[in-house]
Amino acid sequence: MSGADPDLVRALGAIVGPRWVKIRDAERRTYEADGLPTHASVPMVAVLPGSKAEVIAIVRLLHERRVAWVARGAGTGLSGGALADAETVLIPLTRMNKILGIDPTARRAVIEPGVVNARLSEAAAPFGLGYAPDPSSQAACTIGGNVAENAGGPHCLKYGATTAHVVALEVVLPDGSLATLGCPQGEPWGPDLVGLFVGSEGMFGIALEITVRLEPVPAAVRTLLADFGSVRAATESVGAIIASGIVPAALELLDQACVRAVEASIYAAGYPTDAAAVLLVELDGTRAAVEAETMMVERFLTEAGARTIRSAETAEARARLWQGRKKAFGAMGRIAPDLVVQDAVVPRSALPDVLDTITEVGRRYDLTIANVFHAGDGNLHPNICYDHRDLALRERVHRASKEIMEACVAAGGSITGEHGVGADKMEYMPLIFDPTSLATMCAVRRAFDPAERANPRKVVPTRYCREWRPEPIR
């Protein structure tokens, strides 16, 4: 049983009903991870609100009692960001899963934070609309989690990540006060606090109601699968496509280790297993534009040395080409007990060299590193298979991950493109930000949460948060 104060448990139960307060060990353990095998932590108690009013009441109660808390969506974050420890209350928002309204004329939807990403596009489909950000985890992850992480996805190359699609937010701040940020059209209405809140990793408050843009479903879509004899050739074709001015809806790359894992799994998509890399290119838009761009892209692929190019236009054929990509993590997860899905970004032009470095790091630490990634925006996902029970192996994985991050930063990149910093990447933050900038991030966080009770000790290492505090306003 949890060490939670029985009085607190009673008070939480009075808000949500006792059955939505989880104190038994087995129940709490279901929340101990967020898909990243290197981090686990069991919360003091989990409380599942069913309405906006209940969330507000919980936050106010915890504010009065000075108890720290962590909001949680589906727990697919992969950065340890949604974990809470034995002193901290976890607030899963999965019961708040209502789509409150879809306005097809304005192309907007208003939703609760626990709505699963894929469900919104399904609900908008009858109107010929869809929600563009499509993380590969979209069948499970929540839009509240997407807002907190500024989630991306394959189609963000053309349509932009979550931040480009959220126009307004109703939030409860950690002191229990409410604020409505933004407006349906998208003009910020004051400083751009929507832009600031998106990507704040649960440390600024809880998004209670989210207003998003919906995009029309394109008239035509074409998916191409090209396979290459070298990873370098594949990444060079990416550069050529982008430099031509064509913005594909998606440009995804899987290397040989990844292709083989996919083809050996139940998700086999017919990718050639002798290829060093396969590239998925999706073009969408008007029929004429898609046809013209397809011809150009096929030429770039051939010039870069593609061995074969397959093309799919029907929904079923495209789904099959995509299946391997979408299920790649799942497929890799089956070949070893544990899988670290890494996330980093490099300038597109640095892709060939950085991928060479990753291969070299893998060789040096004797690790299998498989790459599946958003090539169009240089967002890498090196995946390392291992077994967490092997301590020495764990240490090698950690060192290799760190070297990969350093290589990406040295190439002018970033330590995360979509999974966030959470707990996992905190140690890398000083690689890309100086102490003053880190201290300013902490100070901005305190503007939302002076007591630092929302998702404590994430994103910025605490030692950087003590260096500078604003003087009082004159």
Partner 1 sequence: MSRLILDLLGAEFGVAVTRDPDGLPRVAPRTSDETAAALGLAHRHGWRVRVEGRGTWMPADAPADLVVTTTGLDRIGSIAPADLVATVQAGTPLRTLAAALAGHRTWLALDPPGSPDRSLGSVLATATAGPARHRFGPVRDHVLGTTVATADGRLVRAGGTVVKNVAGFDLTKLQIGGFGGFGIITEANVRLRAMPAARRTAVATGALDPLFHAAQAIVAAEVDAIVIELLSPMVTGSADWRLLVEIAGTEAGATSELARARDAAGDVALMPASGGALGVAAGQAFLEGPVSIRAGALPASLPDIADLVVEELGPGRMSLGPGRGGLRWSGTTSVERIRRLRGLLAHREIPVTLERAPWPIREGAGHFGELREGVAPLSARVRAVFDPTGVLVAPLEGRDG
- Token pair for residue 414? 């970033």
**Distance in Å, CB of 345 to partner 1, minimum:** 4
The minimum distance between CB 146 and ligand FAD, in angstroms, equals 4
Q: Which residue type sits at 159?
A: Y
Q: Indicate which of partner 1, ligand FAD, none lies near residue 145 (CB less than 5 to 8 Å, by partner kind).
A: ligand FAD
**Which of 294, 401 has the CB closer to ligand FAD?**
401
Q: How far apart are CA 109 and CA 100, in angstroms?
A: 8
The residues facing 414 across adjacent strands are 345
The piece of 3-11, 130-138, 302-310, 437-445 that touches ligand FAD (CB under 6 A) is: 130-138
Q: Is 174 in the site for ligand FAD (CB under 6 A)?
A: no
Taking the least distance from each CB to ligand FAD, the nearer of 86 and 288 is: 86
**CB under 6 A: which stretch of 77-85, 248-256, 303-311, 313-321 binds ligand FAD?**
77-85
Q: Which of residues 95-124 bind ligand FAD (CB under 6 A)?
A: 113
On whether the CB atoms of residues 381 and 375 are closer than 8 A, the answer is: no
Q: How far is CA 151 from the centre of its chain?
A: 4
Q: Which of 149, 236, 284, 424 binds ligand FAD (CB under 6 A)?
A: 149
Q: Say if residues 69 and 91 touch (Cβ distance below 8 Å).
A: yes
Angle between helices 256-263 and 315-326 (to 10 degrees): 110
Which CB atom, from 72 or from 260, has the smaller least distance to ligand FAD?
A: 72
Backbone phi and psi for residue 455, each to the nearest 5 degrees, phi listed first:
45, 60
Q: How many residues does the chain have?
A: 474
Cα dist from 111 to 108, 174, 187, 253, 313, whole Å: 10, 21, 19, 33, 32
- Judged by beta carbon distances under 5 to 8 A according to partner kind, the member of partner 1, ligand FAD, none in contact with residue 82 is ligand FAD
Residue 160 interacting entry, from ligand FAD, partner 1, none, C-beta within 5 to 8 Å by type: partner 1
> Counting beta carbons within 10 angstroms of the beta carbon of residue 169, is it exposed (0 to 12), middle (13 to 18) or buried (19 or more)?
buried
Residue with Cβ nearer ligand FAD (113 or 378): 113
CB-wise, 252 or 293, nearer to ligand FAD? 252
Smallest gap from residue 78 Cβ to ligand FAD (A): 5
In the list partner 1, ligand FAD, none, the entry touching 174 (Cβ below 5 to 8 angstroms by class) is none
Distance CA 309, CA 110 (A): 41
Binding map of ligand FAD across residues 324-363, x = CB under 6 A, - = no contact: -----x----------------------------------
Minimum CB–partner distance for residue 13 and ligand FAD (Å): 22
Which residue pairs from 4-11 have beta carbons closer than 8 angstroms and sit at least 24 positions apart in sequence?
4/44, 4/45, 4/89, 8/45, 8/61, 8/65, 8/67, 8/89, 9/45, 11/61, 11/65
Site residues for ligand FAD per CB under 6 A: 34-35, 70-78, 81-82, 93, 113, 135-137, 141-142, 144-146, 148-149, 151-153, 201-202, 206-207, 329, 418-419, 455
